[in-house]
Amino acid sequence: MTNDALSSTYELVPKTWDEMHTDPTNIRSQYDVINAYLKKTSPDILYKKEELSKQLFMKQGVTFTVYNDNEGIEKIFPFDIVPRIITAAEWDKIERGIKQRLKALNLFIKDIYNEQFIIKDGIISAELIYSCPNFLREMKGVKVPYDVYVHISGVDLIRNNDGEFYVLEDNLRTPSGVSYMLENREISKRLFPGILPKSNVRGVSNYPNMLYKKLKELSIKPNPNIVLLTPGIYNSAYYEHTTLARLMGIELVEGSDLVVKNHTVYMKTTNGLKQVDVIYRRVDDDFLDPLEFNAKSVLGVAGIMAAYRKGNVNIVNAPGTGIADDKAIYIYVPDMIKYYLKEEPILKNIETYQLGNPEEYDYVAKNIKDMVIKKTDGSGGYGMLMGHEASEAEIKDYLENVKKKPENFIAQPILRLSTAPCYIDGQLTPRCIDLRPFALSGRDGIDICPGGLTRVALKKGSLVVNSSQGGGSKDTWVLQ
Amino acid sequence: MLSRVANNLIWLERYMERGNGILSLLKVNFYANQDSPELFSWTPIINNFTTSDNEFYTEDAIECIDFMIFNLDNSNSLLNIVTRARENARSVQEHISREMWLCINNYYLHLTRKDLPKKLKEEDPVQFLEELKSHHLIYNGTLDITQERGASYYFLNVGKYLERVIQISDFTVLKLADIGKTTDKLEQTIYWKNLLLSVGGYQLYLKTHKSTFNEDHVIKMVFQDKLFPRSVYYCVNKLNKHINQLIESNELEKNNLEFLLGKLESTIKYTTIESINAQGLHNFIDDIKADIRNISLNINSVYFSNT
């Protein structure tokens, strides 16, 4: 039995790049194998595969908990069975672009916390840097191993209707989602037996080994004690923390498991205190050390920053990297690339208007229906205004709020996120997607895992891919 | 090993063992209650697992089982116990075998299926309880064949045998209260038999002593048998063994522990049945429980020692 009806109703979204279709009847060659497979599979079997994928997530405990009325409801991050496929040529450009960008961003962080040439040369104003909430004075003059600040990153890309990839945001603090990259692939192997090798898809399962190697080389000890610091079981990314710790064979610790004595970090074990050499922390800067940052934090460790400054422990990513992925700083990344590397940016930025600048504010206010306004220190898709969806009253209220502190807001034109086919109610239907590849930087350079997390806005017409707001994910296949 | 991890491993296993014991007790009492509701009421069982402010009261068998399995306000309902076991397992995933995690998670998913309470009400309650119990059997087998013998395994076993001793003691006290209320020898015999069934020792008793119920034989089997895996002596012996493994591998400080356990083990082993009867089984159990509490506190001190 075949399933020709599967994509009979596939309606391309106007003025939007579709990852699979060039037009209603033709598809891009990288999708040939999977398309043929889907077409020859009966609707019943596809339905079963979808159910299977849900069960697999539940059975392995790949869930996050949503708290409502004191009751925790465990949910899976919705998974769409149809993979997103990237060609070798596309990947090559993405890879070069991200490497270039990370190189510049890392130089920028080093510069900002040391000599500040970029300010002295008038590229970025001191005011902007010091007004940024993620700038950490505590990091000034701190030497970090091999001058690497951002070890782990997850740059968000989107493909615009010109077919080019644009950088949406850099995510240089504690980006999550890498466990879904790994888990989605394991599930694809079971959903589509034989199709991955037939399509020459590059593997992603090496990521934990790559990460472990990067963490290990930060210490001069032959067998350093490396731990993963989690905020705990109630964190929505807890599953990821347990998975990474398990796959690397390292200890998963909470703040209360650690203690600082004589500027050295120890973990409390059944046979006494054991020194900790490298901490992959999934706790934000703010909560890292109650002595230096948020004094009420119970997620961190008192005295850890002092130990870090003494060089007695490595913290990954380094504290203070948030200065470089701030939305107000984002605008300057192309300038940084030119300034530090003397190169033209390979990946484009999205045109961004700073509302602190009266001229740009006026332009945005005039074209507000085509704009999305974001807070510079916001994340997770919260606190945004989508001009095309908002009512006049909402726009008015929002702008009133902006006027109080316009430098805290930026605006970008509403993007045409590319669409990819999703299996919804027995049909292939286009939905907007983005892409988060995961990069690891260390002593010997930058490695990017060939794949990543493709997030999907599962609601029809929606551009918001965040898991907290109805987003899902897809397996991401990078071809050889 | 992290102290918190050791603590979580002990509690993971304590909860699993407790769940298993509750299921046995419910099944045995269900049968007994159908025979003679006046001898085997549900209230003592409910009281044993709830706090003094518990307001739940009924003698309806299915409702009582439902309360002990699903009620979220009952902190010892199976659902709450397995949820806590799973939370503990979740936070020590890199220390237990993958198979154990999948097994516990699968048990939790079964227990939280929306149609399960309906199944208890409409279908065979014994099969319902046995299905739940089979998760414990699978779990114990999985633990045995997939978990390496090391600190994690020893801590898990410390939890298992601590909980089991407490449970056997509690079940016995529960029956002693009933026995104390009657002078009818036959009724007393029925209670002793029921105790054996609750701790899973009835079959062994028959094999050893045939179908004659002698109080002393039951006490000796439940408290002093060397080969019965649910006797207090067997559990204390195992507890001792696993704690010594931990002491040898420097995961646990000797402190008083070695002494306390050694003393408890020999007390149970060498106290004659005459002497138990002379002091009263109740007092004998109270002493055991006090010792176990002391041992448990000594182990706890490990987690708090470095804070």
* Mean pLDDT calculated for residue range A416-430: 92
Per-residue confidence (pLDDT) for residue B307, from 0 to 100: 44
DSSP A315: E
Q: In this complex, is the C-beta atom of A242 within 8 Å of any C-beta atom belonging to chain B?
A: yes
Q: How many domains does chain A have?
A: 2
How far is the C-alpha of A105 from the C-alpha of A123, rounded, in Å?
Answer: 14
Q: Do B105 and A269 touch (CB under 8 A)?
A: no
Residues 6+ apart with CB under 8 A from A277: A219, A221, A224, A225, A226, A313, A314
How far is the C-alpha of B236 from the C-alpha of B251, rounded, in Å?
Answer: 19
Q: At what angle do helices A238-248 and A178-191 cross, to 10 degrees?
A: 80
Q: What is the pTM of this model?
A: 0.91
Residue B114 corresponds to which tokens in the numbers above? Answer: 């929306």
**3-state SS string over A40-57?**
CCCHHHHHHHHHHHHHHH
* Residues A226, A295 within the same domain: yes
- Whole-number mean pLDDT of chain B? 94
Q: Report the SS3 class of residue A389.
A: coil
| DSSP letter string, B35-73 | H-TTTS-SHHHHHHHS-TT-------HHHHHHHHHH-TT
Indicate the residue among A395, A413, A431 that finishes a domain.
A413
Looking at the domain assignment, is residue A211 inside a domain? yes
Looking at the domain assignment, is residue A1 inside a domain? no
How far is the C-alpha of B126 from the C-alpha of B124, rounded, in Å?
Answer: 6
The model's pLDDT over A390-414, given as tens digits with 9 standing for 90+, comes to 888 989 899 888 888 888 888 988 8
Indicate the residue among A365, A389, A413 that finishes a domain.
A413
* Mean pLDDT calculated for residue range A261-269: 96
How far is the C-alpha of A479 from the C-alpha of B8, rounded, in Å?
Answer: 43
Query: Band of the pLDDT at B82, cuts 50, 70, 90?
Result: very high
Per-residue confidence (pLDDT) for residue A380, from 0 to 100: 57
DSSP 3-state percent helix, strand, coil across chain B (nearest 5): 75, 0, 25
**CA distance, residue B291 to nearest chain A CA (Å):** 22
* Residues A404, A311 within the same domain: no
Interface of B with A in 115-154 (CB under 8 A): 151
* Mean pLDDT calculated for residue range B265-269: 95
How far is the C-alpha of B97 from the C-alpha of A169, rounded, in Å?
Answer: 38
Backbone angles phi, psi at A221, to 5 degrees: -75, 150
- What CATH number does residue A386 fall under? 3.30.1490.270
* Mean pLDDT calculated for residue range B79-86: 97
Q: In this complex, is the C-beta atom of B101 within 8 Å of any C-beta atom belonging to chain A?
A: yes
How far is the C-alpha of A206 from the C-alpha of A193, rounded, in Å?
Answer: 20
* Mean pLDDT calculated for residue range A375-393: 78
Looking at the domain assignment, is residue A125 inside a domain? no
Q: Look at residue B38 and tell me whether its pLDDT is greater than 80.
A: yes
- What CATH number does residue A304 fall under? 3.40.50.11290
* Residues A238, A296 within the same domain: yes
Per-residue confidence (pLDDT) for residue B304, from 0 to 100: 60
Looking at the domain assignment, is residue A435 inside a domain? no
Altogether, the residues listed in chain A come to a count of 480
DSSP A436: B
Query: Band of the pLDDT at A65, cuts 50, 70, 90?
Result: confident
Per-residue confidence (pLDDT) for residue A435, from 0 to 100: 97
Enter the ipTM.
0.89
Please report residues of B whose CB lies closer than 8 A to that of A238.
Answer: 90
Per-residue confidence (pLDDT) for residue A25, from 0 to 100: 85
Looking at the domain assignment, is residue A245 inside a domain? yes
CB distance A202 to A451 below 8 Å: yes
Q: Look at residue A382 and tell me whether its pLDDT is greater than 90.
A: no
Looking at the domain assignment, is residue A257 inside a domain? yes
- Whole-number mean pLDDT of chain A? 92
**CA distance, residue A83 to nearest chain B CA (Å):** 26
Per-residue confidence (pLDDT) for residue B144, from 0 to 100: 97
* Residues A282, A364 within the same domain: no
Choice between A6 and A357, residue whose per-residue pLDDT is larger: A357
Looking at the domain assignment, is residue A47 inside a domain? no
Per-residue confidence (pLDDT) for residue A57, from 0 to 100: 93
* Mean pLDDT calculated for residue range B74-102: 96
Please report residues of B whose CB lies closer than 8 A to that of A76.
Answer: none
Please report residues of A whose CB lies closer than 8 A to that of B304.
Answer: none
Per-residue confidence (pLDDT) for residue B260, from 0 to 100: 92
- CA-to-CA dists, residue A117 to A140, A144, A327, A342, angstroms: 14, 18, 21, 15
Indicate the residue among A392, A413, A434 that finishes a domain.
A413
Domain range holding A392?
A: 351-413
- Identify the weakest region by mean pLDDT among A105-119, A299-313, A404-418: A404-418
* Residues A254, A310 within the same domain: yes
Choice between A227 and A406, residue whose per-residue pLDDT is larger: A227
The model's pLDDT over B183-221, given as tens digits with 9 standing for 90+, comes to 999 999 999 999 999 999 999 999 999 888 899 999 999
Cis peptide bond upstream of B76, omega within 30: no
* Residues A310, A216 within the same domain: yes
- CA-to-CA dists, residue A15 to A45, A304, A432, B285, angstroms: 33, 51, 13, 80
Looking at the domain assignment, is residue A100 inside a domain? no
Per-residue confidence (pLDDT) for residue A356, from 0 to 100: 87
